[in-house]
Chain A
């Protein structure tokens, strides 16, 4: 009981309640604290780091952290090269995953990632009430009552930061219930000299296939949609390069791995193994696979608990909540989604590329922007904004286009925004969702984002709002991503004529 008594955030009333101590929840709590917003941070876990305490199963991430980069590790600019560390304002809170990497890989191990997140929570002094499980939610007028294993919390703003963490399998394939999910994988040795069918061709499917290459006798990867590869599609939503070895085996006819476009029709148990009935989608034909093991690498869903019952709308087979550009429930004001669940906010999604909210490199910034929005829009705080001298605005925007990590990691989603205030001059509004900027009315202003087009060219895009109408201006790309050239500045200066 003594331990319990020392736990912070006892049940009661708080302006904001955040649930979850993965990278998403910690980042929201950090940002709220820096803004001076009182809140309770609750977690069912015993310690911080969320999913990274257990996954990825094969113990290494798919996103890189570059230990030695063109920017110093304790700077904001370093975040461009580091896809994994939580972001902090003080130098000692920055680039922490890099600090724990042992030099054997460009990709942090699961343990190195966990250590980086734990160090962030520790050094930033992020306190949480651990061992406190969110059990239910109800509304009483404008108040949310968050029911937990420790008691009830009353709040105006509820932020579930529990991520897409619950295993998910499609419910329309007979026999799928018997197929173990990715989270139930055994140690690789268990699959020694066995045939394995992996259902799913996204990152977790390729991760399993890659991990089993030295063990399994033969591997099939099957799902209806052709595999999408990040290098070919220029998209973070596709399978990342790190686990492409099974695909190379398939493409070069290695015979050890087959990557197939098939719709699984049903799965049967056959003694110790499985019989999988499938039909080709891109190439017609019927297939029957008799395998020793089947694994459902079919992804995850958000543990929404009873949120749909209080009105939260969902999509993607109920795996994600519908959200505004600020990651607020589209249906219930006052509920925000942090962590990987924030990928449910679509944004401009230019050329079909998502914003980046599915992983730490993206949602760490969503947390910052969300915290400011909660403070201003829900709690009535007035946050200070600096002004930018008119003769520095062009250089500032060009520098942001060339170096701002928020813009690179959340392409076409986050933008640097300056407003032109007749009284104050040019005001830096900070980083905002681009969809909010282009769809909401407001004063004359400019937003600068980074985008990738259908040819793979990466370039800045400027959006000028003048008299309520927003005009898009695509700026030139550059082979070295140098967007501070005379040409870029001249284009920006021309666009902002009359303002700078």
Chain B
């Protein structure tokens, strides 16, 4: 780097490094700050800020030795602010060290004050290889048993199917024999088969239900325990009555798909996860929301016809948002429907934000332009873009009454055992892990544990 950098260039590079640090690109941040430190003099007004950020970048990048060395350099420097900051930060880097070893004699009064860490809980995102290892260590027996049950279920279904066919044929032949009909009639066979098929389907359903018994407890709950290493989350494959009412209220309050005046006619939920991650209480579940179409008389005006229309099927997430706000803000995927102002009038005004990538993916509506921007800080916009890429499907969000709601539509029933896939293979497990980690990781991905605002 050129030695003769102008003040503006130093500022620009510092901001770039700072941005990298915030975005988690620690190596890039370290490169910039190291080069800057080499370039500028120690009496430069940015020197302390650069040192401070470099120590943080080293710490985040798990380069403890470099962080401690730089901290020591700051402690020994002539700058009071750097010395004080370095002394304090050293206690975080080396919590067990005797402070007298690193502190200056003049700072004795500071050493007696305990340093409190604001972040009491940090959720660690698990990698796929960690999960694979965990499965091999803990889930292999359950998976073997599950695979055995799966093969047995398939065999039962196939054998019962063949038995049904043979029984139908034999029954038909018997009837033809009694009635003395020489030529078997195909339509008769078919009718018999159709009449017997509901029995076979009911039998198959029973088999599949038996196959699924214990799956949620032995597999899904264990995966959740692995992701939530702190053990602060609870899992229930089904929640009834009062809890279901809470979900209905939450879904209605979220107004993601309709305004709050309309409560859905039917809501079914399963695979509920609830508890807290750090200071954030969360709840998510797989839900199916349906509306019952108003009854009308059929063409003979004899019977009332009622139908169901699906409103939402997928994962629904609810959490307390760390900022205070009173207005409603909606974030919708940038589709043709969300672009039509007439369809979204009830959501408020359209909010045009500065981030082009975010604008490309989402459409934002809110009652209050300033509050929408207060909620959607540049940092959160960036995190939402990344979250959307991770989810790789449409994501709907709403911020109402201090809560954040997320709805991710899915076509299929989630967290169910597969019938036609080998359960000992890693692919179905990977799918469960991905979906669960996506939801549990929301708190960390969107930084909901950050508590620096008055609440």
On whether the two chains bind one another, the answer is: no
Q: State the B residues within 8 Å of A (CB).
A: none
